[in-house]
Chains A and B, each alone.
Chain A
Amino acid sequence: AQSVTQLGSHVSVSEGALVLLRCNYSSSVPPYLFWYVQYPNQGLQLLLKYTSAATLVKGINDFEAEFKKSETSFHLTKPSAHMSDAAEYFCAVSEGPGNTGKLIFGQGTTLQVKP
């Protein structure tokens, strides 16, 4: 069975500092991995996804993530945090083989950005 673990339910950084949100996955088949962001009182918005092409994936708002098969990780980074990045972030893996339309989500990480 596939699973996702996000290390750290809360991460706090200063404005301008590096953002690093950790995600590890477990999958018996080649995974398709996603990072979503949820701003207060809104739905989930896709930041980026890995679909077995390049291992370094670039997304919106200068976020990027690197797929590391040997470490079963897909950590999310951003070089310089902005106040507007404060939100909850979810890592997810698409269930397979076969498509059930299900994303298996991690528990979420709340990012706080301090001025």
Chain B
Amino acid sequence: EAQVTQNPRYLITVTGKKLTVTCSQNMNHEYMSWYRQDPGLGLRQIYYSMNVEVTDKGDVPEGYKVSRKEKRNFPLILESPSPNQTSLYFCASQLGGQRDTQYFGPGTRLTVL
């Protein structure tokens, strides 16, 4: 089944404790993105990747890191989480063109205390 998977689905942590949210897609897509969803703001892009070893900032990159060492994986790293990073996070993948559909993972709900 074609899908985007994320782990963990739920995470409660404390300020400053490094964490990684994994994302994997099995559709051989070139593009992958991370978004955060906050009430009343819709989804905003954090980082994106156009291919292996090619990443760039989205609209809200502060406090986040990403890497793309393999085509299928695109982990999101919070080196020193803060409470304002409490949010719902989605990973997405896309074949390559602007008109191509983005496929979303199930989401990771992160709470930083």
Main secondary structure of the interface of B (DSSP, over half): strand
Complex-state Cα separation, A45 to B99, whole angstroms: 16
Interface members, chain A 75-115 (any B CB < 8 Å): 90, 92, 94-96, 99-103, 105-108
B: number of interface residues (CB 8 Å): 30
A103 and B94 alpha carbons, distance in the complex (Å): 11
Bound CA–CA A72/B44 (angstroms):
22
- A103 touching B106 by the CB < 8 A rule? no
| A43 & B48 in contact (Cβ 8 Å cutoff) | no
The one of A9, A41, A42, A90 that contacts B43, using a Cβ cutoff of 8 Å: A90
Q: A32-B99, A43-B90, A105-B43 are in contact. Are A99 and B31 (CB under 8 A)?
A: yes
How many angstroms from the CA of A75 to the CA of B32 in the assembled complex? 27
Query: A49-80 vs B: 1/0 string, CB under 8 Å?
Result: 10110000000000000000000000000000
In Å, the complex CA distance between A94 and B92 comes to 13
- Central interface residue in B32, B56, B99, B101, by most chain A CB within 10 Å: B99
Summarize A's interface: helix, strand, loop or mixed.
loop
Residue of A nearest to B56 (CB): A100
Tell me if B25 counts as interface (CB < 8 A to partner A).
Answer: no
